[in-house]
Structure 1
Amino acid sequence: MTDDVVARARSGDEQAFAELVGPYRRKLHLHCYRLLGSLTDAEDVLQETLVAAWRGLHEFQQRASVRTWLYRIATNRCLNHVRDRARRVPPSPVPPFDPPARTRRSEITWLQPYPDALLDQLPQPASDPETRYGLRESVELAFVAGLQRLPPRQTAALVLRDVLGYSTAEAAAILGVTPTVVKGALQRARATLAQDRPTEPSAERTAVGPQEEQDLPHRFAAAFLAGDVPGLLRLLTDDAWLAMPPAPHVYRGPAAIAAFLRASGEWRDRRTGVLLPTRANRQPAFGYYLAEGGEPLARPAGMVVLTLRAGRLAGVTRFLDDRLLARFGLPAAAPTAGARDGVPT
């Protein structure tokens, strides 16, 4: 069947090509997102991958599977994109108020969330002894951000081996290096991620029950909309962090987060906020809207994604890109009347 589809695609049959790559398109999109950390970049590189596959069909000798052939193209396109990333890093926004001194500076300013609606269209991968991460763990924001801090080849080696389940030899063939190089890159990548994520992802996930998945976002939204800083602080872990891509500011610990919330709260005091619930990276999220005093409609003001751990909030990622809301199917404006209706129940 595949031989016939490949032959028809090589003859210029676009329908056959769509049939050939269709089962992998969404998986490739997620693969590009993991490697790049940006939904926008993933969409661009996926298109480059499909164009390269169409043009390179005559070179596909079918010694590897269609899946491996496509992942080889996508992985190397992503690595090329990372090498050019200095020209693509988004500019840092200028805050409308004077923020307090940050705890540290984040270099991962291109990070974007990934819609759960797209993840829901993927089949849950079967358990594989060669795969360290399930679908949920491998798309969490902390994991994706951690990948961005690795050298590109280490990132690719870890994703190919520990997420996709390729053997060392297969990963080496995809990357065009020796198995020894893959083993070294993988060992270093695992060690670095272990330092950043001392708690195993699966343990972190099971520590948050269904009721907490519902209650914590609700309590966060109610306190956030009310400007209740003490109420927000009661929800945080002792090592909680607040990040705001594409701004490089990161605030770690309740005291630093409180200082930022008070400064931003003074600026928001004359404005009405609305939060509309959604899901991103298998985590609770909100579309955020703001309206000037008296305006009936609030306009997009970015997104908020919550990281939950052991019944508390371990992280709040405040994305400042208003264009993200449309990617999540959220409206272009939200009514300010009954703004608290945006809080999930």
Structure 2
Amino acid sequence: MCTLHASLYNTSNKFMKILVTGAAGFIGFHTTKKLIEQGNEVIGLDNINDYYNIGLKYGRLLELGISKEKAEKFDALVGSKIYKGRFKFVRMNLEDRNALTKLFNSQNFDVVCHLAAQAGVRYSLENPETYIDSNIVGFLNILECCRHYKVNHLVYASSSSVYGLNKKIPFETTDNVDHPISLYAATKKSNELMAHTYSHLYGFPTTGLRFFTVYGPWGRPDMAMFLFTEAILKGNPIKVFNHGKMERDFTYIDDIVEGVYRIIENSIGERIANNELYKLYNIGNNQSVKLMDFIKALELSLGVTAKKEMLPMQAGDVTATWANVDDLIKDYDYRPNTSIQDGVQKFVDWFKKYYKIED
């Protein structure tokens, strides 16, 4: 059993040293910002790969006080100009076991929030090796470092994609998830199994979070919200798959981050006492929105009617997602409260500002 820090038993001792992997990514950036602003010391890690435009990743880091010039060098820990003493960044590949080990050895992390991964369902159909390297080998290295360097709590990103071909709606964490339909989903299910094994064998707490269709400012360019907005503003048609007969549990980024924050900040002493070292949660908006209603909300915010190219279902995709978040409500009083129209409007406002688009 690990030797656990007092901070995880005593919520009055709130400030911790936290490693956030994927800190230049969409969810990682917002989570990092929240944790720093709440007084914690954060080390952000990212390899800044070119899966999508790296300019957006450097832009997020700049918001955290890390210049592009500082972020470009691998394995160098650099400090923030904005959050002095409370945020440092390191560019690093999780597959680099030696570099990761040196980082853990030089720091004394209370919590690891592992959000780094090779994302994207469709990309996994074309580049499967990347997913094994990042999502399996990288996650193993994180687990090994948490084990050997006595990290008190590992919080990691899973995905709603693990539900695969499940028909029962809403999705619950007790559902069978043995039918993934993309390699991305399979790697996320593998992460959950690996975390369970490490919690069982080595006695440290792990918490997996199955994220549901996250959107908002600084979002990923490969996601529907970004793609649709860009296409509509350019007067191009948007690609509507399965002829629009799809539903998603669209979850605004602030609601996601609040859930992650509560899990990291709250004491897990009771969990340890009850031998509940391994936990899984859905983290979503607790409702499903029809794709065509989502598009209508976007059209309303942009003041433009979208040209629509109706297409058949894509390989690796599912028709509907919906998160049952009763466990998060019970354990953390987590209640997402951003409506689809408010969330879409906030994204549109950011998009226009970031890309200097005048109304």
Please confirm whether the aligned pair reaches a TM-score higher than 0.5, indicating the same fold: no
TM-score by length of structure 2 reads 0.25
Which one has the largest radius of gyration? Answer: 1
- By percentage of residues, which structure has more helix? 1
Normalized against structure 1, the TM-score is what? 0.26
